[in-house]
Amino acid sequence: MNDEPYVEELRLLLAQGEPFAPKAARLRPLLPRIVQRLAAGAPRKVIVEQLNRAGLDISLHDLAKQLYQHRKARRAGEVNTVQPSPPGLPPAAPDAAVRGQPNRIENPADLRKIRSMEVDLDALRREGEAMRRQARHAKAGTDPTPSPAFPNRSTPQE
């Protein structure tokens, strides 16, 4: 396999950085390209050999460690980036049966909110009945409209 184009590309990228920087700092700008090559199926051993020929003396262990840190930082960046909701849409309304429930449990304060949240047991019962009724009708293939004998069962009592 002719890998000289990759070695030249690595040399050019290395030449753009600081020549006396630590190995990790010199490797950092190359990591996105290395990740692409790994995704394309290139073995790590071959990439290490190419990096060595390009002028960066690095071991397989050092590359694996830097790839781990790079991916970890990328995941942390993806998790912390919050997509803003469009300004025209109102926030989603919480469930009628359970009020005060946090979306995610991230800290002890969220657990305290869960312990002190207000639960409307009647509304929860009605929601459960409606869900079971819909499942029964979906399984039977019938119309889920209420029967006239039980008019109050399908409509929530307020």
**The pLDDT of residue 148 is above 60:** no
Question: How much is the average pLDDT of 22-44?
Answer: 90
Structural domain includes residue 85: no
Question: Which residues face 98 on adjacent strands?
Answer: 119
Helices and strands of the chain, counted as H and E runs: 7, 2
pLDDT at 21: 87
Q: Is the pLDDT of residue 143 over 70?
A: no
Whether 90 is covered by a domain: the verdict is no
pLDDT band at 138 (very low <50, low <70, confident <90, very high): confident
pLDDT at 38 over 60: yes
Q: Taking the complete model, does pTM exceed 0.85, yes or no?
A: no
In a domain, 88, yes or no: no
Instruction: Please choose, from the candidates 40, 43, 60, the residue with its C-alpha nearest in 3D space to the C-alpha of residue 52.
Output: 60
Asked if residue 158 is part of any domain, the answer here is no
Q: Lowest mean pLDDT: which of 14-18, 73-77, 83-87, 101-105?
A: 83-87
Q: Domain residues for 60?
A: 4-79
Number of domains in the chain: 2
Distance CA(135)–CA(93), nearest Å, equals: 24
Cβ pair 86, 64 in contact under 8 A: no
Whether 24 and 54 map to the same domain: the answer is yes
Record the tokens describing residue 77, joined without a space.
Answer: 């960046």
Phi, psi dihedral angles at 119 (to 5 degrees)? -115, 125
Residue 112's identity, in one-letter code, is R
pLDDT for position 132: 93
